[in-house]
Amino acid sequence: MSTYASRYLGKTCTAQDVEDAVVEFYALFDNVVKSYRPGGPSFWHYMVHVCFRNYCVREGERLRRRMGRESSLDAEGAEVRYSIQMIDQSVDGSPSRVAQSTAFAEDLAAFLNGQSLPEQQKRVFVLRYLEDMPYDRIAEEVGSPVGSVKGWLNRATSAARAYLSARGWSEWQMGN
């Protein structure tokens, strides 16, 4: 199965990614058995070349997206440009709320793309608020103690509040 996993996951996968995919697929084996319909391809062919392939292709895409985010945040010497898309999950979906969310996202992206915030603070801000990562994972990601991460995040959050307040956003609007 490892050979198929490495083929289906793509060239950017690691040995750990291959192992994880094989283990996870066997955990989903009951679903494969339930979805198999006799009269088509053999069970082995269906399991490996249909179900496992589909699982690995989806997992490979997820891994490449994750690597793209990580590499764009870790790029040295290259200017990182942030673009934010807000998804309105409100019940009404009113046009004014959508416009307000879009304007807020544009102002937040302008803040992150500005030169006023040190890169380390930008990075932890993005990981915490845009990637929804917990403090310990951020600390692991940036290779610094949790206390340093919290300090950088506090300074970045204060700077973001000041920037957005100067642009007319209230505390209530920033929290929603």
The string of pLDDT tens digits covering residues 123-151 is 899 888 888 889 999 998 888 899 999 99
Within-domain flag for 164:
yes
Q: Residue 51's domain spans which residues? A: 2-74
Within-domain flag for 86:
no
Shared domain check, 170 and 117: yes
pLDDT at res. 69: 54
Shared domain check, 100 and 33: no
The string of pLDDT tens digits covering residues 1-28 is 777 777 777 777 788 888 888 888 777 7
Within-domain flag for 82:
no
Residue of 18 and 161 predicted with greater confidence: 161
CATH number of 115's domain: 1.10.10.10
Q: How does the average pLDDT of the chain come out, rounded? A: 77
Shared domain check, 66 and 15: yes
Shared domain check, 57 and 103: no
Work out how many domains the chain is built from and give that number. 2
Q: Kindly tell me if the per-residue pLDDT of 154 is higher than 90.
A: yes
Within-domain flag for 84:
no
pLDDT at res. 55: 77
CA distance 161 to 172: 11
Q: What is the DSSP letter of 79?
A: P
Shared domain check, 58 and 99: no
Give, for 23, the enclosing helix (H) or strand (E).
Answer: helix 15-27
The string of pLDDT tens digits covering residues 32-68 is 777 777 877 787 777 777 777 777 777 877 777 766 6
Residue of 173 and 81 predicted with greater confidence: 81
Within-domain flag for 25:
yes
Shared domain check, 115 and 70: no
Within-domain flag for 43:
yes
**Of the candidates 80, 84, 125, 114, which has an alpha carbon nearest to the alpha carbon of residue 102?**
84
Which tokens sit at 133? Answer: 């990562």
Quick one: how far is CA 140 from the chain centroid?
16
pLDDT at res. 78: 43
Q: Which of 74, 106, 136 represents a domain boundary (last residue)?
A: 74
pLDDT at res. 158: 92
Within-domain flag for 36:
yes
Within-domain flag for 157:
yes
pLDDT at res. 91: 58
CA distances from 153 to 14, 79, 160, 169 (A): 31, 21, 10, 20
Shared domain check, 123 and 64: no
